[in-house]
Structure formats: C-alpha cells, structure tokens
Amino acid sequence: MPSGRTHDRITLWALPMVAGVTFWQTRSGNVTLLVAGGFMFGGLMFGPDLDIYSRQYQRWGFLRWIWLPYQKSLRHRSFLSHGPLIGTTLRVVYLSSLLAVLTLVILAVADKLLNMAVTWQDVERTVGRSLSSYTPEFLALFLGLELGAMSHSLSDWGGSAYKRFRKQGIRGILPSGKIKKRKVTRRKGVRANDRGKSTK
C-alpha cells in the first residue's frame, strides 16, 4: 500500500491531466475549476483514508474530531470507504448531515438571541433551489471528489497487487475463489487416482 506522501504525489501529478481532459471535454472554465478543485480536495483531504488516523485525517486540524464516528463505524479499506461511488457518496452524506445539524443549532441560537425569523423551512427551500439551479456544478464537484478518491483507491489496489505478484507470481493477483477451486479439483483428482490404483 503506498504511503501518504505517495498518494499526495499521485494527486498532484494527475491534477494537470484531470484539468486538461475536463476542459477539453467541456470547454468550460467553471466546470474545469470545480472538477479540478474537487479532485484536489478529494485526493488530499476527503479521500478513503479518513477511516483511519491518516494524513487526510490530520489535515482537518482542529476539526478532525468530526471524523471519529465515521472511523469507528467503518473497517479500514472496506467497500463503504474505498468502494467506487459509494465511498464518496457516504462521506458527502456524512459531512452534509453534520453541516445540517450545525445549521439547525445556529438557527436556534440566532432565533433566541437575535429574534431572527428564519425557519428550517426557509433554509430547506433555499437549499432546494440551490440544488436545482446548480445541478451541473454540484455534479462536476462530485465527479472531482470521486476521481480524487478513486486515484487513491486504485493506487492502493495497484500497490497491493504488485506486492502479491512479486511474492506469489500470477496466482497472487488472481481472485482467491479461483485458486481455491483449482486446489479442490486437484485434490479430488488425486483422490480419484488413488482409488483407481487401489482397485487395480
């Protein structure tokens, strides 16, 4: 598994390519900025390794405590943290939920202290309008976050596969189920041969 520094280098080296391909496909500076920014954030601070005490986790500084429940809920390198789409989606939902709770608390305090007439329904309407009006921008940002997370997960997988290949050869990178089946069939074949010899 690559180190935190290696993951950072992969993110920084891949950034120009991600930005270039995005601009080539969209011809939009805003979309390119959102995808590239999401890719950087996803690779350096919002990636799969938030499920352990990692460089990504440490970069949150005094706010890193918000990821402790996330860490305790997930096993490291599980499908829920490192899986394609599901990992990024889960982190976005988790962080959005925390921000929603924080917004509720701020609204309650503002209502008591400042007599502001802002209700949760007003906030809900505003967020709903923003989501519908800026859907392409949110999708571009999510795509960037996902690409940053996937560059991390793929380098983890590639590093582990390379180590297994060096130790075990091609059998080290084959799915374990196929290896077990082959072993079982060989054993059965040996037993059948033994039986044939004993009858002769």
Tens digit of each residue's pLDDT (9 = 90 or more) over 30-67 = 999 999 999 999 999 998 989 999 999 999 999 999 99
Query: In this predicted structure, what is the pLDDT of residue 65?
Result: 95
Residue 79 has pLDDT above 60, yes or no: yes
Query: In this predicted structure, what is the pLDDT of residue 98?
Result: 94
Task: Return the domain boundaries, the chain.
Answer: 4-175
In whole angstroms, what is the distance from residue 56 CA to residue 41 CA? 10
Does this model's pTM top 0.85?
A: no
Structure tokens at 62: 């005094």
Helix residue spans in the chain (DSSP H): 4-26, 29-44, 55-58, 68-73, 79-82, 86-114, 120-133, 135-168, 176-199
What percent of the chain has a predicted confidence (pLDDT) above 70?
Answer: 76
Structure tokens at 187: 């054993």
Instruction: For residue 83, give the nearest of 183, 22, 165, 153 by alpha carbon.
Output: 153
pLDDT tens digits, 178-192: 444 444 455 555 444
- In one-letter notation, the amino acid at residue 83 is G
